[in-house]
Chains A and B, each alone.
Chain A
Amino acid sequence: MDDSLLALLESMQLIRAFEEKAGMMYGLRKIGGFCHLYTGQEAVAVGAVSVLDLGRDYVLTGYRDHGHALALGMDPGAIMAELFGKATGVSRGKGGSMHLFDPAKRMLGGNGIVGAQIPVATGVALAQAYRGDGGVTLCFFGDGAFHQGALHESLNLAKVWSLPIVYVVENNQWGMGTNWKRVSSEEDFTLTVAGYGMKGLSCDGMDLASVRGALREAVDRARTAREPCLVEARTYRYKGHSMSDPQKYRSRDDVEEYRKRDPIDALKGRMTDSGELTEARWAEIAARVDAKVEAAVAFAEASPEPASGELYTDVYSSPRAAG
């Protein structure tokens, strides 16, 4: 258990360091467009993915997808190359930050349209149920997405079809500049889903153990009893919505309050207190993570741009279909 917890701590730190570097690279204009960083929310992706069976489960998410991709073990170099728009990127430079895909690593995508991954994920769970392969689908989305019709239609489908899916609402409390309370008729999302006859679980998204506990229960239910489930992870995003957000809607103090409960610091503290982690061991982890991130940037830098002919590849299964 010791080792695996250390591995999860390292995974969270990798996301943190990767995102901080991505923010810098954006500042240097190596990355363009919308880039939504995941800092603050690391415990959710890492904790949730840690209870999956990556031989048969799948993950889908929105545009804030770097954290989920890294937690699934996707190659940081290929992710960074995607952000740089390079041919070696996970989506060959065609998707960018919001559209990271890697089916071999069980990642069926980052999606740019708020809530659009929710019906799609529901369909992935349908395929798993249809084949009876025992797989479970994890579908991540934000508090803002909770109010899309796509979610409500999907919850009902998942329930009436008994699909093996876990919906994870990462309630970081802000959908762009809108606090979730201002747009939610019911602030407790677990109560909303109760109306669909669906189990809802809450957890502290700043606490890895809490996330793992709730997700383990939810994934077990989905896998063994074919009971779809919703988990609300209360969390916080440290950075603006995307790189262009002046964040006038919240104060620095609000962010600082949450930073005091930083999920990485908290886990580090707990593991140090219990003797599972030493300063030296942490220094080793941090150095390894930094080296990985540096290597990712170097790989992205050195990678070629896609060839101009790539514009017309992968529109259809066969080039001739274009007609």
Chain B
Amino acid sequence: MSVITYREALGRALDEEMARDGRVFLMGEEVGEYDGAYKVSKGLLAKYGPDRVRDTPIAELGFTGAGVGAAIAGLRPVVEWMTHNFALLAMDQVINEAAKMRYMSGGQLSVPIVFRGPNGPAEYLASQHSQSFASFWAHVPGLKVLAPSTPADAYGLLKSAIRDDDPVVFLESEMMYGWKGEVSDQEFLVPFGKAAVARPGRDLTIISFSKPARAALEAADALAGRGIEAEVLDLRSIRPLDEAALYESVRRTGRCVVVDESWPFASVGSHVAYLVSRECFDRLDAPVALVSGEDVPMPYNHALELAAQPLAAKIEAAALRALYREV
């Protein structure tokens, strides 16, 4: 066991997979000579050279699409987006090309590619740089979507993603890169489609993924101070979704709060809340709650920016309401 950062965990996964398979290569803006805008690819250029750690111009549509082409022609690209905000420029290539190639070719083509980078708000970055696109990607059949919140899951899921034969969108976060956690020194994979019980509990279920999973744990701590034992589930994998784990937990606790930092309209959070409401209807003691990002573009001002996000206090309040307790 070593305690390493989320950033280091991703770097280790990339390094190991590149060493293991010569078809794997990384490309994106500043991934090479700059060692990565957020230093995830630190040291990889020195180790693997510029063919396998390829700096690109600022041309998201072009290099993302080139990744798709390289994938159908037999390579296993990892495309780094400096952030998911900039991936909007490449959305056509991901949705119309990567996600549909297998289907529209009648199964003849595979697109083994990983698109990865930070997603969601960081701090003081205002509306064009602070958006969570989990729901946009998750909407699309043909894409797999991963959103780990711990270094161990980041490591194990990125390795699985690189080995997978389908296009995977991988959601990280500027704020999570410095988070630390224990990661086994032995190699391991984390399978897709398995939620993690981040904290067991019996009184209600809090479901989250990515950065807000930590806020959910903070809220659970605060609730424990009031004698309430919340179970926190971390989806880790959004598509495929571990529906069974969600239903099992909510049927046991009878109450559910879903936390998602995206906008609430047609989001991963709202979809999970719908599924849980439908599948656990006869066991629910309260309506399923959704704590989302506020339904506004992100403001720059820090107090407003914090108010726009699903922080622990909001999650705690939603949990208390689900328990019909005083907030």
Interface residue count on the A side (C-beta < 8 Å): 43
- Most chain A CB inside 10 Å of its own CB: which residue of B34, B122, B127, B304: B304
Interface assignment of A147: CB less than 8 Å from any CB of chain B: yes
Contact B58 A144 (CB under 8 A): yes
Contact B301 A94 (CB under 8 A): yes
Quote the shortest CB–CB distance from A170 to chain B (angstroms).
14
- On whether A99 and B299 interact (CB within 8 A), knowing A176-B34, A183-B56, A310-B304, the answer reads no
Interface assignment of A112: CB less than 8 Å from any CB of chain B: yes
Contact A177 B33 (CB under 8 A): yes
Contact B33 A99 (CB under 8 A): no
Q: Is the interface of A mostly helix, strand, loop or mixed?
A: loop
The bracket for how many chain B residues form the interface is: 35 or more
Contact B34 A94 (CB under 8 A): no
- On whether A311 and B307 interact (CB within 8 A), knowing A147-B58, A177-B30, A178-B55, the answer reads yes
Contact B300 A94 (CB under 8 A): yes
Interface assignment of B153: CB less than 8 Å from any CB of chain A: no
The residue from A93, A113, A184 contacting B299, defined by CB atoms under 8 A apart: A93
Interface string of A81-103 (1 = CB under 8 A from B): 01001100001011110110000
Question: Who on chain B is nearest to A179 by CB?
Answer: B33
Interface assignment of A148: CB less than 8 Å from any CB of chain B: yes
The residue from B89, B129, B294 contacting A112, defined by CB atoms under 8 A apart: B129
Contact B126 A33 (CB under 8 A): yes
Contact B123 A114 (CB under 8 A): no
- On whether A182 and B55 interact (CB within 8 A), knowing A94-B299, A149-B61, A315-B296, the answer reads yes
Contacts of B29 in A (CB 8 A): 176, 178
Question: Who on chain B is nearest to A311 by CB?
Answer: B304
Contacts of A310 in B (CB 8 A): 299, 301, 304
Contact B128 A33 (CB under 8 A): no
Interface assignment of A312: CB less than 8 Å from any CB of chain B: yes
Interface assignment of B86: CB less than 8 Å from any CB of chain A: yes
- On whether A312 and B62 interact (CB within 8 A), knowing A32-B124, A111-B128, the answer reads no
The docked-state distance in angstroms from the alpha carbon of A248 to that of B241 is 42
Quote the shortest CB–CB distance from B127 to chain A (angstroms).
8
Interface assignment of B104: CB less than 8 Å from any CB of chain A: no
Question: Who on chain B is nearest to A34 by CB?
Answer: B125
**Contact residues of B between 214 and 237, Cβ < 8 Å to A:** none
Interface assignment of A308: CB less than 8 Å from any CB of chain B: yes
- On whether A32 and B58 interact (CB within 8 A), knowing A113-B86, A113-B128, A311-B294, the answer reads no
Interface assignment of B132: CB less than 8 Å from any CB of chain A: no
Interface assignment of A283: CB less than 8 Å from any CB of chain B: no
Contacts of A95 in B (CB 8 A): 126-127, 300
The docked-state distance in angstroms from the alpha carbon of A171 to that of B307 is 39
Contacts of A113 in B (CB 8 A): 85-86, 88-89, 128
Interface assignment of A115: CB less than 8 Å from any CB of chain B: yes
Contact B86 A32 (CB under 8 A): no
Contact B58 A85 (CB under 8 A): no
- On whether A112 and B128 interact (CB within 8 A), knowing A149-B62, A177-B33, A315-B296, the answer reads yes
Interface string of A103-136 (1 = CB under 8 A from B): 0000000011111100000000000000000000
- Most chain B CB inside 10 Å of its own CB: which residue of A91, A94, A98, A305: A94
Quote the shortest CB–CB distance from B235 to chain A (angstroms).
27
**Contact residues of B between 44 and 68, Cβ < 8 Å to A:** 55-59, 61-62
The docked-state distance in angstroms from the alpha carbon of A93 to that of B57 is 32
Quote the shortest CB–CB distance from A311 to chain B (angstroms).
5
Quote the shortest CB–CB distance from A243 to chain B (angstroms).
11
| 15 A-B pairs with C-beta separation under 8 A | A32-B123, A33-B300, A34-B129, A94-B299, A94-B301, A112-B129, A113-B86, A113-B89, A177-B34, A183-B57, A306-B303, A310-B299, A311-B294, A312-B294, A315-B297
What 5 pairs between A and B have smallest CB-CB spacing?
A33-B124, A32-B124, A96-B300, A177-B34, A85-B301
